[in-house]
Amino acid sequence: MELTLNNGVTMPAIGLGVFQSAPEQTTAAVEAALATGYRHIDTAAAYGNEREVGDGIRRSGLNRSEVFIETKVWVSDYGYDHTLHAWDKATGKLGVDYLDLLILHQPAPDRFEKTMAAYKALEALLADRRVRAIGVSNFMPHHLTQLLDATDVVPAVNQIELHPYFTQPDVQAADAEHGILTQAWSPIGGITFYPGWGEERRNVMEDPVIGAIAATQGKSPAQVMLRWHLQQGRSAIPKSTNPARIAENFDVFDFELSTDELAAIDALDSGNRNGPDPDQARPERFAMVIPEA
Ligand code: NAP
């Protein structure tokens, strides 16, 4: 299933996420995903595995143009010239000469002028056809307003924490108002059960409402959540390094959730974010240096 971005570029709705995929596992995961039928990979400079993503794509034997490559600029590379150079680092590691989608990993609330300058560099990369689309991640409505006031190109995508326990309707509405595609990170709720991230978290994978829908549909909870994203028009980028789960997460195109089932999943939203608050300044993030290619 393809989604059309606001500049006419098409993007496969389901992509493979690779956050916390160890470099030595990433190449095999990407290869497995591409063999299964995925044509979209979501990585980031900060994940430290762009090189292995590129290796996996080359090992698949597919042409570069058949795979939609999305990556992210880390905050320590914000600022106009630094962000232009971040493209060199990313493409050098991936071993490609263009990117399909390049997004800012998060707003830097304490250095918002640098965030704006970074986005202007993305606009220049787009004009030079070194990226086919540009976007943002973890932007809240007020960040979008500030961005749209200061720049020319409306982001194609806003990638945000979005799973049944945290749906951010305000961000989804702001995205829709501006023609920005909402892309779900932790689409099957990974952040509600990342090992070592706090045992008290409610694991959405074990939610009884989702379990009941999965039983009715003869599908798994992960498949039900992915189908919910697709039917509501979102892109989703589930992460797995396990070949069986990679295949399971792509086997979501042969069933349909009813209106009542979609509403029952919507009703699970707790309004509580699991990931970091995008409005909280985190100066320590600027200390992480993204290596050269
Ligand atoms: P996720 O995709 O919702 O969940 C991943 C977790 O679920 C992993 O522990 C994975 O383990 C497990 N899993 C995968 N498929 C499963 C299945 N079918 N059944 C049961 N468990 C399954 O969470 P995520 O990794 O946080 O998010 C996905 C992607 O979004 C990331 O990889 C990254 O690309 C992106 N992301 C972006 C941001 C941002 O700030 N922009 C933040 C977080 C994530 P196994 O690998 O063992 O299968």
Q: Is 74 in the pocket of ligand 1 (CB under 6 A)?
A: no
Residues 56-84: pLDDT tens digits? 999 999 999 999 999 999 999 999 999 99
Contact yes or no for 56/83 (Cβ under 8 A): no
Contact call for residues 140 and 110 (beta carbons, < 8 A): no
Which atom belonging to ligand 1 lies closest to the Cα atom of 222? 18
| Amino acid symbol at 164 | P
Provide φ and ψ at 215, rounded to 5°: -65, -45
The answer to whether residue 97 is domain-embedded is yes
Query: Are 126 and 153 in contact, with CB atoms under 8 Å apart?
Result: yes
- How many Å lie between the centroid of ligand 1 and the Cα of residue 193? 10
Q: Please tell me the predicted confidence (pLDDT) of residue 195.
A: 80
The answer as to whether 180 is a domain residue is yes
pTM for the predicted model, two decimal places: 0.98
Question: Cβ–Cβ contacts within 10 Å for residue 195, how many?
Answer: 6
Q: Is the CB of 54 under 6 A from ligand 1?
A: no
Give the distance from CA 195 to its chain's centroid. Answer: 20
293 in a structural domain: no
Hey, what long-range contacts does 282-290 have (CB within 8 A, 24 or more apart)? Answer: 282/110, 283/110, 285/74, 285/75, 285/76, 285/108, 286/75, 286/76, 286/108, 286/111, 287/76, 288/46, 288/74, 288/76, 289/76, 290/45, 290/46, 290/74, 290/76, 290/77, 290/86, 290/89
Q: Is 12 helix (H, G, I), strand (E, B) or coil?
A: strand
Find out whether the beta carbon of 242 lies less than 6 Å from any atom of ligand 1.
Answer: yes
176-192: pLDDT as tens digits: 999 999 999 999 999 99
How many other β-carbons are positioned within 10 Å of the β-carbon of residue 50?
29
Residues annotated catalytic, as ranges:
47
* 28 occurs within a structural domain: yes
Q: What was the pLDDT predicted at 190?
A: 97
Ligand 1 binding pocket includes 189 (Cβ within 6 Å): yes
Residues in the chain: 293
| Domain-embedded: residue 6 | no
**Given this model, what pLDDT does residue 281 score?**
86
Indicate whether 164 belongs to any domain.
yes
pLDDT of residue 111: 87
Q: Is the CB–ligand 1 distance for residue 245 below 6 Å? A: yes
Q: What is the pLDDT of residue 225?
A: 99
Residue 261 is encoded by which pair of tokens?
A: 């089932």
Could you state, in chain order, the average pLDDT of each consecutive group of 10 residues for the chain (293 residues)?
Answer: 98 98 96 98 98 98 98 98 98 98 96 96 98 98 97 98 98 98 98 82 95 98 99 98 98 98 98 94 91 98
- Cβ atoms within 10 Å of 209's Cβ, excluding its own: 16
The CATH number of whichever domain residue 113 belongs to comes to 3.20.20.100
Tokens representing 44 are 């980031």
* pLDDT score for 201: 85
Instruction: Give Cα 119 distance to the centre of its chain.
Output: 17
Look up the domain containing 217 and give its range.
Answer: 11-286
Number of structural domains the chain divides into: 1
Place of tokens 């996996």: 56
Inside any domain, residue 2? no
The answer to whether position 95 is within a domain reads yes
Q: Which residue owns the Cα nearest ligand 1 atom 5? A: 190
- Per-residue model confidence (pLDDT) at position 196: 76
Instruction: Give residue 239 CA to ligand 1 midpoint distance, Å.
Output: 4
pLDDT tens-digit readout, 118-136 = 999 999 999 999 999 999 9
Which secondary-structure segment (H or E) carries 2? strand 2-4
